[in-house]
Structure 1
Amino acid sequence: MRKHFYFIIAPLLVSLFIYLFYRTEKTIVNEIAIRIISFDTYTTLRNAVNRFLPLSELIIYSLPEGLWVFCITLTSRPYYIQFKNVRINGAGLPLIVCIGLEIAQLLHITNGRFDLVDILISLICWFIAVFAADDKLDKQNILTSLDGKRMVCLFSYGIVYLSHVLA
């Protein structure tokens, strides 16, 4: 995972940038930023960034999820989850989570709007992460004792909470 460090951090920082300056201020990460720097400062920065660097809706609303799926795929590749007789490859988990979140939006279980484009972008990013990186390590059960790499993997899934929109 160490050799993938920059391939994990860079997309997460791009997603953070998009969330901070282009998504609603009601997301948890933006609420945190507003509490740190004040609403007025946040609004001034946001407006300046939007004027300087306008982005398409596809980039604003679909790319961050795809980048997140790319990152969690890289962090999940060395692992699997075992439930009784069912073994799920860690590289497949991001697709399950991504599609599950979109279905939760479709059923109005969570905030957001179901979008097939989000799934398509996530699928493309997942393919890139799965097929671009080598996979010569033996898979380990993620649910065994925690070490630093497992914690990074689990944390990368938890990051999605920061994109949650508060009602």
Structure 2
Amino acid sequence: MKRNYAFILLSLLISLFIYLFYRTQRTVVNEIFISLLSAGKYHALKEKISGAIPLNKYIIYSLPEGLWVFCITLTSKFLFIRLGKREIDLVFIPLIYCIGLEFMQLFHFTNGRFDFWDIGVSFLFWSIAKYRVKHVQIRQNILQPYTARSFVCIFSYGIVYLAHVVNN
């Protein structure tokens, strides 16, 4: 699992880099960064980095979601939640979430633009995390007992809030 934490950390850092220097400054993570640095320094740094490392629009707009799905799929593997007598395997939640989010954008229930490309990238990264990244874990209820593994999983789901665009 420790190797997976390295994959998770690297994926989240790549996503953070893209959000900080290529996406709108109105995301929660960018507003936090600006408040720590200053608007002037942030804009100068963003201009310098985005000018030195030009990225394709698909990398800017689809890759961070795919990497996030990859991370939460890795943290969700072999975890379940019990509802009554049923067990829900959490490894499918990232895929359901990203597809659901795209359709919420399609019907204008949330900000954003529906894009089949985002679904495809998310499905690709979900598949890689589910089927190609191997590790041995025992199945565990995410809440009983509450462990460090449970915390990492729940925290990785919470990270999606940092990508939220704040409407001023």
Q: What is the CA-CA distance between 1:38 and the residue it aligns to?
A: 0.7
Q: Structure 2 matches for 1:34-49, cutoff 5 A?
A: 34-49=34-49
Q: Structure 2 matches for 1:45-124, cutoff 5 A?
A: 45-124=45-124
Q: What is the CA-CA distance between 1:17 and the residue it aligns to?
A: 0.1
SS of the aligned residue for 2:146 comes to coil
AA partner of residue 115 (structure 1): D
CA RMSD between the two structures = 1.2
Q: 2:104 and 2:19 mapped to 1: Cα distance?
A: 21
Indicate the residue corresponding to 1:163 in structure 2: 163
TM-score normalised by structure 2 residue count = 0.94
TM-score normalised by structure 1 residue count = 0.95
SS of the aligned residue for 2:8 comes to helix
Q: Percent identity?
A: 51
Q: 2:136 and 2:3 mapped to 1: Cα distance?
A: 13
Aligned length: 167
Q: 1:20 and 1:7 mapped to 2: Cα distance?
A: 20
Asked if the contact 1:77/1:135 (under 8 Å) is kept, the reply is: no
Q: Which runs of 5+ in 1 are unaligned?
A: none
Q: What is the CA-CA distance between 1:86 and the residue it aligns to?
A: 3.4
Q: Which runs of 5+ in 2 are unaligned?
A: none
Q: What is the CA-CA distance between 1:135 and the residue it aligns to?
A: 5.0
AA partner of residue 151 (structure 1): F
AA partner of residue 20 (structure 1): L
Indicate the residue corresponding to 2:24 in structure 1: 24
Over residues 124-162 of structure 1, what are the superposed CA-to-partner deviations in whole Å (9 max), with x where a residue is unaligned? 001110111225433111132321110010000000000
Residue 120 of structure 2 is aligned to residue 126 of structure 1: no
Asked if the contact 1:71/1:156 (under 8 Å) is kept, the reply is: yes
Which shifted more, 99-108 or 65-74? 99-108
Superposed structure 1 runs of 4+ greater than 3 Å apart? none
AA partner of residue 10 (structure 1): L
Q: 1:75 and 1:5 mapped to 2: Cα distance?
A: 9
